[in-house]
Amino acid sequence: MLNLLFITIGLTLLILGGNWLLRSAVAFSLRLNISRIIIGMTIVSFATSAPELIVSVNAALDGFPDLALSNVVGSNIANLGLVLAIIVLLGRIDVRKAFYITDWPVMMAASLLFFGFIYFDGILHPYEGAIMVLFLFLFLIFLLRFQKTAVVEEVHEDDRPLPLYKAVLFLGLGGIALWGGAELLVKGSVGLATFYEVSERVIGITVVSVGTSIPELAASVIAIIKKEKAISLGNLIGSNIFNLLAVLGVTSMIAPIYVIDQGLLNSDIWWMLGISFVILPLVFFPKGLRLGWRDGIILLSLYSVFLYFTLF
């Protein structure tokens, strides 16, 4: 009963936090005259990736490296296979060429960098984590200086910049609510899963990863309902980049991360690369530079197959 209470309160906080974070992001984009997808790929992505960072650092320090790794890998799979699928089922997203020139290639580069570091020796060393954090830092510099909008943004006549103190307040409240909500949701979910004696890797790749992806789902669904499509797509792409480069980078700098369950290397990491890659052809086919409900069905189907093979 206590675990169910944690889950309920966690979901409530995540919904509130997603709304507050969205209001802050829109306010900053208007005040600073910055493209909303950049705000989504920086401020919103970092805040919604905070649960993964907290869970992964704690797991690594507590001697559960598989939970740290499977949390991030599973979260990246869930962000695209589950969250993005739900988003495009709710409404079509039109994208511009900056998406496949910059955003998607950087996400794939981060995925391949992580793959190269972890696959051959099964260890993510501190110096490799430092390289990943440096890569993220250089990407953010490029993003803020040169990136053009990657999503067709809709103009809202009622867009008025919030006072600065309110924008900062909503940012802080949103981040805290998302973090607290994710912590409660994960605690409740892991409590239920542990009761059924599910392995550490399976818990991380399914229950924990979905739980820590709820902030992305909450922020992105609220964004798409409010027609902030640029923030919605940018949040997911940016979150996957942050998860790999910041979460695993920082975690491995604190303590080396070791692969214990080989299923993570033999299956999970390949699913992450595959679903990340498939986003590009879906953007172009059957109609160019858009993601629609058919793409959502494909992504959701892939995620369902992934869950089936992981659990059974």
Residue-wise pLDDT tens digits, 265-282? 999 999 999 999 999 999
* Residue 157: pLDDT over 50: no
Q: Are strands 93-94 and 257-258 parallel, antiparallel or unpaired?
A: unpaired
Does residue 152 surpass a pLDDT of 80?
A: no
Mean pLDDT of the chain: 83
- Which pLDDT belongs to residue 147? 60
pLDDT number for residue 233? 72
Q: What angle do CA 247, 250, 252 make, to 5 degrees?
A: 100
Residue 111 confidence (pLDDT) above 90 = yes
User: What whole-number distance in Å separates Cα of residue 238 and Cα of residue 99?
Assistant: 12
290-291/257-258 β-pairing:
unpaired
What mean pLDDT is predicted for residues 170-184? 85
Q: Which residue's entry shows tokens 């640029």?
A: 230
Please list the alpha-helical segments (H only) found in the chain. 2-32, 36-39, 45-61, 65-78, 84-90, 97-98, 104-119, 126-146, 164-195, 200-202, 209-225, 229-242, 249-254, 263, 269-284, 293-311
Q: Is 54 exposed, middle or buried (0-12, 13-18, 19+ CB in 10 A)?
A: middle
Verdict on whether the full-model pTM lies above 0.85: no
Is 70 exceeded by the pLDDT of residue 160? no
Give start and end residues of each alpha helix (H) in 196-264: 200-202, 209-225, 229-242, 249-254, 263
Q: How does residue 191 score in pLDDT terms, banded at 50, 70 and 90?
A: confident
Of residues 222 and 83, more confidently modeled: 83
Mean pLDDT within 256-267 = 92
pLDDT at 4 over 60: yes
pLDDT, position 155: 46
HSE-CB at 215 with a 13 A cutoff on CA atoms is 36
Percentage of residues in the chain having pLDDT higher than 90: 34
The mean per-residue pLDDT over the stretch 81-105 comes to 85
229 — pLDDT class (breaks 50, 70, 90): low
pLDDT at 23: 79
| pLDDT, tens only, 8-60 | 898 888 878 877 877 787 787 777 777 666 776 677 777 767 777 877 887 88
Higher pLDDT pick, 233 / 275: 275
Per-residue pLDDT at 181 exceeds 90: no
Provide the pLDDT for residue 266. Answer: 94
DSSP 286: S
